[in-house]
Amino acid sequence: MRSRFHSILVIVLLLTLLSGCGAATPASPDSNKRDENVGKTPPYEIKLVFYSSPQKDFKQIEEEMSKITLEKINATVKLERIEPAAWDQQTILMLTGPEQVDLIVTGNQSFWRQVAQKQLLPLDELIKNRGQDIIKAFEPEILNAAKVEGNLYAVPTIRDFASNVNVYMRKDLLDKYNLDLSTVKELDDLDPFFAAIKKNEASITPLVKSVAPKAIINRVIDNQWDVLGDSVGVLENLDKLKVVNLYETPEYEKLIKTVRRWYEAGYISKDVSTSKDAAADLIKAKTAFGSIQKGKPGAHAQIESRVNLKLESVDIGRQITSTTNVTAAMLGIPKNSKDPQRAMMFLNLLYSDSKLMNLISWGIEGKHYVKINDKQIDFPPGVDASNSGYNSRQGWMFGNQLLTYTWSTDSPNLWEDMDKFNRESKKSIALGFTYNPAPVKTELAAITNVVRQYQDGLENGSLDPKANLPKFNAALRAAGIDKVIAEKQKQLDEWAAKNK
């Protein structure tokens, strides 16, 4: 995910194109029925477009998936991989041209652009006729979160819809200095931990960014408010339909004062705003102690595996679900599809057929993985991440991830835990709301420039809030943030009236 000012910028670039346009249920049994209309339909090749690193055995995965889809929907599968760095550029060209695309990974900024340009088909009738397993897999409010102006244009993948805030720290250093994480209830309780590292480990930075584009406290902000897509007008209270200026809230001021205190104490590096290093790389290199990360079931084990060190973590705050969480990863059917009905039939299988989902998630049993019990898998003997022909680890990108096996380093109950975590999350009252920023495009363009000037510095601690927060808010008001908030409030009220 990019920083929030980038989200605003993307929306601004799309405005000229716009003219108005709970949790998953537990994994269902495989849908083993052959579609009753298969015999009446001609053969077809379904092209699924997504981003991924190169995988040597993609062709074999295609062939094995096609054995299932030929039997069930008389179609073969073509996996069209695009390099992540080229994703935006290539998919824009692909969808503006005549090339056949039957399913495409989409979400948030890409999704808004594609809907605005009428590149995605409305799916309501297609799902009603060919997507019954998709409907069964969702609680209605989650599936409806992908609607724009009452029409469904993509289906969210079933994964972590909710998230909370985790602070991760190296266990070796916690043990070395007898630091007890059970004393941490809020961010301000972390000072003694960072102070101990600063005092005794001169070569180690106490706190680093989770990933390069995000500020130190980005995850906290995204989890404390419903940012309503772009943070230009947020819900301060998830139970009330009241849009406020995030940057004028007392909670935001308190948060940036905390991070400023850490910065001035030397707990955060002086080049934090320009650093391109991710927390996982710095912790693995033993040059960093901790980081504030996205929290969800399984995250701890996955991060430990990346850094090759034991970590301890503490939750800060509750898990929440918002439209932004749900729409981060989805699958849509472009207008370029030559057979949208067949594309929907295949999409339906990705939410009901565990064999198909395990193929695209993990590869071929015996070649890319072996079972170690009914729920977990691992590499076969002699195979590891360096020599496996298929190790994309992108099950979250396709269909219902809760249908897949878990890896040996994860809990065998990971998906049950994830489903429970999603269900027990605090749902924003605005879940499903997406606003049309076209009426305030001029103001948003000006606000983008203001946010770019102040946001990173305030949220990384390098700018003094006492001097700069008033300047930030004055500049936002001059740029027209009050008008944007009023427009967002108006649209939110209209959406709430329609959706009761």
pLDDT tens column, 232-283: 999 999 999 999 999 999 999 999 999 999 999 999 999 998 888 889 999 9
Model confidence at 7: pLDDT above 80: no
Residue 28: predicted pLDDT: 44
Quote the Cα angle for 114-118-123, to 5°: 90
Are residues 85 and 68 in contact, defined by beta-carbon separation less than 8 angstroms? no
pLDDT, tens digit, 9 for 90 and up, residues 51-85 = 999 999 999 999 999 999 999 999 999 999 999 98
pLDDT, tens digit, 9 for 90 and up, residues 337-390 = 999 999 999 999 999 999 999 999 999 999 999 999 999 999 999 999 999 999
Instruction: Compute CA distances 144 → 121, 333, 365, whole Å.
Output: 16, 16, 35
Model confidence at 23: pLDDT above 50: no
CA proximity to 499, closest of 261, 238, 158, 147 = 147
DSSP 211-232: STTS-TTHHHHHHHSB-TTTSS
Residue 38: predicted pLDDT: 59
Q: How many CB atoms lie under 10 A from the CB of residue 474?
A: 11
Residue 436: predicted pLDDT: 80
Residue 214: predicted pLDDT: 87
Q: How confident is the model at residue 229 (pLDDT cuts 50, 70, 90)?
A: confident
Distance separating alpha carbons of residues 404 and 157, to the nearest angstrom: 13
CA proximity to 162, closest of 396, 323, 1 = 323
SS3 7: helix
Instruction: Compute CA distances 271 → 109, 153, 217, 255, whole Å.
Output: 28, 41, 15, 20
pLDDT, tens digit, 9 for 90 and up, residues 153-206 = 999 999 999 999 999 999 999 999 999 999 999 999 999 999 999 999 999 999
Q: How confident is the model at residue 5 (pLDDT cuts 50, 70, 90)?
A: very low
Residue 12: predicted pLDDT: 43
Model confidence at 21: pLDDT above 80: no
Are residues 169 and 201 in contact, defined by beta-carbon separation less than 8 angstroms? no
DSSP 354-414: HHHHHHHHH--BTTTBEESSSSEEEPPTT--TTT-S-----GGGSSBGGGS-EETTS-TTH
Model confidence at 34: pLDDT above 60: no
**What is the average per-residue pLDDT within 382-411?**
94
Model confidence at 18: pLDDT above 70: no
The structure tokens listed for 309 are 């060190």
Only one residue has tokens 């379904």, namely 46
Model confidence at 131: pLDDT above 60: yes
Q: Percentage of residues in the chain with pLDDT exceeding 90?
A: 79
Distance separating alpha carbons of residues 477 and 223, to the nearest angstrom: 25
**What is the average per-residue pLDDT within 412-437?**
92
**What is the average per-residue pLDDT within 226-232?**
89
Distance separating alpha carbons of residues 265 and 488, to the nearest angstrom: 39
Residue 435: predicted pLDDT: 80
Only one residue has tokens 């595996």, namely 305
Model confidence at 122: pLDDT above 50: yes
Residue 273: predicted pLDDT: 87
Residue 20: predicted pLDDT: 37
CA proximity to 269, closest of 461, 463, 456 = 461
Residue 11: predicted pLDDT: 47
CA dihedral (333, 336, 337, 340) positive or negative: positive
Strands (E) across 228-347 are located at: 234-235, 243-244, 288-295, 311-321, 330-332
Model confidence at 30: pLDDT above 80: no
Residue 37: predicted pLDDT: 58
Mean per-residue pLDDT over the chain, rounded? 90
Model confidence at 47: pLDDT above 80: yes
Distance separating alpha carbons of residues 138 and 147, to the nearest angstrom: 14
Residue 14: predicted pLDDT: 44
Beta bridge pairs of residue 226: 235
